[in-house]
Structure 1
Amino acid sequence: MRERHASQGARRAREFEAFVAGAAGRLLHAATLLTAEPPGANPRARRLLTLALAHTYASWDRLRGEDPYDRARQQLALRFARAAWHQYGSFGRLRPSPENVLARLTPQERLILVLRLYEGVAEEQTAALLGLPTERVRAICARAMATLLHPPRGPAPTVEVAPS
């Protein structure tokens, strides 16, 4: 009995290691997009990924045919949303890195944009994951795209008038 549990544990560990080897890079990139941190300095993204993978590993035996990547991505998104909510009282604005174009977006806009465009999650699935109506997800995604495609202009240049 003990050997059987040991072999099941070893098999589980090998399967999970293979999953992480294939999925961790993409999940880390998604987490980095969510946090709007620079790719080389992304401690919040790495922590999000670590927690999402830990949760996925803990439920590995209960997946029963469910896609582990989808589970890890869900955990990543939910943990990001929860952290943004607790840190700012709502999905407030966070500008972690001004040179990052995604920093112009609210955390909620970033979350929806990353899920929809980078991860290719359908509107209905995104809405269900976040507990929002599909129309709201569509509107937030459109607003985020408009913000990225048409950034606000800086202040108008001052014109010096020559004395007459």
Structure 2
Amino acid sequence: MDEDRYPGFRDFVSGRGPALSRAAYLLTGDHHAAEDLVQTALSRVLRHWGRARDGDPEAYVRRTMYHLQMSWWRRRRVPEQLAAAPPERAGLDPYVGTVLRMTLDRALAVLTPRQRAVLVLRFYEDLTEVQAAQVLGCSVGSVKRYAHDGLARLRAAAPHLVDDAERVGGGWR
């Protein structure tokens, strides 16, 4: 990469790459897909680096990631698979955090990409409804609806997550 042509890009990627990767994993639910998502978003942003660098480059990359994920999801829709019974609840043991994370990953998989994106933006990225709407290019009302429907779907898919999250010191309500 020509450092003179893209000043600051290397520093941006090395400084913000891990945070972008975490957000991408939450959007995709798969490490390999998350890596692809970040790499594709960064390559697209690189083409417009001068404009992105002068504004808010991280917001530019994140918006690109959310839009790419929506586009990829539309191309590869996979039918939902619902289990006859929810997975067994894990008791208090040293692995409760791991079990909680795996259960949350499965529960997030039942969300639509828009619901998942809104929940990641609102509760992981800690954006306001207005900021999330700007990132996704939709109305604040849509963000509220996706958040409401997504949380309801999570509660229906894994009602025990609320109890488990409170037990390990968090909460997602």
Using the size of structure 2 for normalisation, the TM-score is: 0.68
The amino acid across from 1:108 in the alignment is: R
SS of match in other structure, 1:127 = helix
Does the alignment pair 1:30 with 2:23?
Answer: yes
Gaps in structure 2 of 5+ consecutive residues: 83-101, 160-173
Does the alignment pair 1:105 with 2:111?
Answer: yes
Deviation, 1:128, is 3.6
SS of match in other structure, 1:10 = coil
**Cα 1:64–1:30 shift into 2, 3 Å:** closer
Contact 1:94 1:103 in 2 (8 A): no
Alignment of 1:67-82 (within 5 A): 67-82=56-71
The amino acid across from 1:32 in the alignment is: Y
Contact 2:118 2:146 in 1 (8 A): yes
SS of match in other structure, 1:135 = helix
**Cα 1:64–1:25 shift into 2, 3 Å:** closer
- Separation in structure 1 between the aligned mates of residue 109 and residue 131 of structure 2, nearest angstrom: 24
SS of match in other structure, 1:148 = helix
Aligned match of 1:51? 40
Aligned match of 2:125? 119
Greater Rg over alpha carbons, structure: 1
**Percentage of identical aligned residues:** 30
Of stretches 133-142 and 73-82 in structure 1, the one that deviates more from structure 2 is: 133-142
1:97-154 deviation line (CA, Å, top 9, x unaligned)? x84231132222111111122122332232244343311210211222233345357x
SS of match in other structure, 1:104 = coil
**Cα 1:43–1:138 shift into 2, 3 Å:** same
Structure of higher RCO (CA pairs closer than 8 Å, 6+ residues apart): 2
- Separation in structure 2 between the aligned mates of residue 54 and residue 137 of structure 1, nearest angstrom: 28
**Cα 1:94–1:85 shift into 2, 3 Å:** farther
- Separation in structure 2 between the aligned mates of residue 94 and residue 84 of structure 1, nearest angstrom: 16
The amino acid across from 2:66 in the alignment is: A
One of 143, 151, 155 as aligned partner of 1:145:
151
Gaps in structure 1 of 5+ consecutive residues: 1-8, 154-164
SS of match in other structure, 1:121 = coil
Deviation, 1:32, is 0.5
C-alpha root-mean-square deviation of aligned residues, in Å? 2.8
